[in-house]
A and B are shown apart, each in its own frame.
Chain A
Amino acid sequence: MNHLDLLTFARGTALNWALVIFVLGITLRLFEIFGLGRKADLAKPRSNSCGNGWRTMFTRSLPPEGMLKREPVTYIAGYIFHVGLLAVIFLFAPHIEFFRSFFGFGWASLPSALVDALVVASILALGVLLAHRLNNPVKRMLSGFGDYLAWAATLLPLLTGYMAYHHLMFEYTLMLALHIFSVELLLVLLPFTKLFHTFSVFISRWYNGDIFGRKGVAS
Chain B
Amino acid sequence: MSATLAKGINSFKDVIDAPIASFFSSCVHCGLCAEACLFYTETGDAKYTPIHKLEPLRRVWQQEYTLLGKLGKALGLSKPITDEELAEWEPLVYDSCTMCGRCAMVCPVGNDLTYMIRKMREGMSASGHAPADLVGATTRAVNLGSPMGIKWPAVLAQIKHVQDETGIEVPVEKSGVDYLVLMSSMEIINFPEYLSALSRIFKQAGVSWTLAQDAFEATNSGIQIGASDLAREIVSRIVIAAERLKVKCVISPECGHAFTALRWEGPNLMGKAYTFDVKHILEVLDELRSAGKLKTNGKDKRPLTYHDPCQIARRGGVIEQPRHILGDIAADFREMPDAGKMNWCCGGGGGVSANSRAEPLRLEVFKHKKGQIEATGVKTLVTACANCRIVMEESLEHYHMKVEVIGLTELLAEYLVEDKAL
Contact = CB atoms under 8 A, between A and B. Distances in A.
Please say whether chains A and B are actual partners in one complex. yes
Interface of A: 28-29, 32-39, 41-44, 46, 56-57, 60-61, 64-67, 70-71, 74, 78, 136-143, 147, 192, 194, 196-197, 200-201, 203-209, 211-212, 214-219
B27 A194 contact: yes
Given A60-B110, A138-B46, A217-B317, A39 B31 contact: no
Given A38-B18, A201-B110, 9 more contacts: A28-B67, A35-B18, A36-B21, A42-B273, A71-B32, A78-B30, A142-B51, A200-B25, A215-B264
Contacts of B23: 204, 207
B177 interface: no
B19 A217 contact: no
Given A67-B36, A71-B32, A71-B35, A209 B106 contact: no
Contact of A36 (B18, B108, B270): B18
A157 B315 CA distance: 42
B40 interface: yes
Given A142-B29, A197-B27, A37 B18 contact: yes
Contact of B314 (A65, A203, A217): A217
Interface string B24-55: 01111111101110001000001101011000
Given A43-B268, A66-B338, A36 B17 contact: yes
A138 B31 contact: yes
A65 B337 CA distance: 10
B193 interface: no
B16 interface: yes
Contacts of A200: 22, 25-26, 109
Listed from nearest, the 5 A-B pairs whose CB atoms lie closest are A216-B317, A205-B110, A208-B110, A138-B31, A42-B267
Nearest to B19: A207
7 contacts: A38-B19, A74-B32, A143-B29, A205-B109, A205-B110, A216-B317, A217-B314
B32 A67 contact: yes
A215 B332 CA distance: 30
Nearest to B108: A60
B316 interface: yes
Contacts, number: 166
Contact of A207 (B46, B52, B110): B110
B342 A65 contact: yes
A46 B317 contact: yes
Interface residues on B, range: 35 or more
A127 B297 CA distance: 62
B266 A33 contact: no
B389 to A, nearest CB: 22
A194 B26 CA distance: 7
A197 B315 contact: no
Interface in B306-345: 313-319, 337-338, 341-342
Contacts of A209: 110
Nearest to B25: A200
A147 B27 CA distance: 11
Nearest to A143: B29
A206 B19 CA distance: 9
Contact of B21 (A33, A39, A218, A219): A33
Contact of B267 (A34, A37, A43): A43
Contacts of B18: 33-38, 203, 207
Contacts of A64: 36, 105-106, 342
Contacts of A78: 30, 108
A65 B25 CA distance: 26
A3 B234 CA distance: 73
Contact of A141 (B19, B52, B265, B341): B52
Contacts of B300: none
Interface core residue of B67, B106, B108, B342 (most chain A CB under 10 Å) = B108
A35 B64 CA distance: 13
Interface in B178-235: none
Contact of B17 (A37, A42, A139, A203): A37
Contacts of A143: 29
Contacts of B393: none
B347 to A, nearest CB: 18
Nearest to B109: A201
B68 interface: yes
B301 interface: no
A194 B316 contact: no
Contacts of B20: 36
B35 A208 contact: no
A44 B35 contact: no
Given A33-B25, A143-B29, A211-B19, A67 B35 contact: yes
Contacts of B46: 137-138, 140-141
A41 B271 CA distance: 9
B415 interface: no
A43 B273 CA distance: 6
B162 to A, nearest CB: 31
Interface in B267-314: 267-268, 270-274, 277, 313-314
B355 to A, nearest CB: 24
B52 A142 contact: yes
